[in-house]
Amino acid sequence: MNKRIFLIAGFVVIVILAVIIYRADQPVQPEPMTDWASLINGHSMEHESYFVESGKIALEVELIQSPMGSSEKPAVIFIPGSGSTTYQAYAPGLIEKYILNVFLPRDYAVIFFNKRGMGQSEGNWMKNDFPGRAEDVLAVVDFFRDHPGIDTNQIGLIGHSQGGWIANLAASQDPSVAFFISLAGPVTSVQEQMADIYENDFRCQGFAGDELAKKVVRQLGLARFGAAIGRVIHVGVIGFDSGIIHYDPRDVILSTTNPGLFVYGEHDPYVPADQNIKQFAEIFPEGSENLTAISIPEGDHHFRTTESLCQPYEERLNEPFSEVLVEDLDAWLDQYDL
């Protein structure tokens, strides 16, 4: 009798664990912004929907363009950041301010696509890695090179946060990509960026000195341990982290020949401007002919103007977006006649 109870209990535990693992391995679908359709329609744009094949995966893609202007437009592809997110629900306000309001007046077509498993895209982003994300981007680039309304030689990339890493990586693999812009995309390694996040988080909690350093080391050790488990049990976020935790963009940056702009916010607690501008200068002690790195005064991770790096996230959402970044984007695009 006891043996039977033990077997039943063991079976129940296995089932529960299997359900937990399965759920952890499924992307969470965010609610799209309620005003996404009105945002697009408010710009009096035409929009077309596609499914683009990347290997065996079909990606949800949307093209937005003015019915006026050139019949063959340059295009820019937006690449979102980390986690379970769709372009329709991404960083409210950022897409309108720094993508639509910058590129549509230049008569660009603007292209959005959802990463694997998000929106109507097939697959699972947690089963992907940075090279895989770059392959998906280049599949979208190749698709629109055959689009009759797109200028084949004028397709650029703009990514935010982790999407900035991917924009640079994809561009480095295809020199014919017209340009890339990395908004808050690190030039530091994944582990260096993790350490920056932990340090700023603990510093804002009031820790300092040796105690701060110990907490950062401990937290980074836990992240490495989780990634090590993810290599053995490739499930969920730890499985994804296992494939990216050793990524360092230095060689990619050095091999990049496309025009590229790296942008950082002075008050960004996740991708701090000082660390990344310093790293960029170390990579290019004599400067770079095609790559530029700039800092936006008072900008946070989404380039809202904030009081400090430690300003609470909920308060930052009420702050205005930086007009300086709009001016700097326009100036850089003008510099390269884009």
Q: For 327, list phi and psi in degrees, rounded to 5.
A: -65, -40
pLDDT digits (tens, 9 = 90+) for 146-203: 999 999 999 999 999 999 999 999 999 999 999 999 999 999 999 999 999 999 999 9
Instruction: Note the CATH number of domain 36-189+247-335.
Output: 3.40.50.1820
- Count of alpha carbons within 13 Å of 36, Cβ hemisphere only? 14
Amino acid at 188: T
Residue 19 pLDDT exceeds 70: no
Q: Are 305 and 321 in contact (CB under 8 A)?
A: yes
Report the C-alpha gap between 242 and 259 in whole angstroms: 31
pLDDT digits (tens, 9 = 90+) for 267-313: 999 999 999 999 999 999 999 999 999 999 999 999 999 999 999 98
pLDDT digits (tens, 9 = 90+) for 56-100: 999 999 999 998 989 999 999 999 999 899 999 998 899 999 999
Element spanning 86, H or E: none
Per-residue CA distances from 226 to 21, 198, 235, 236, 241 (Å):
14, 16, 11, 11, 8
Task: Give Rg (Cα) of the chain.
Answer: 21
Q: Are 321 and 303 in contact (CB under 8 A)?
A: yes
Q: Do the strands 46-54 and 57-65 form a parallel or antiparallel pair, or are they unpaired?
A: antiparallel
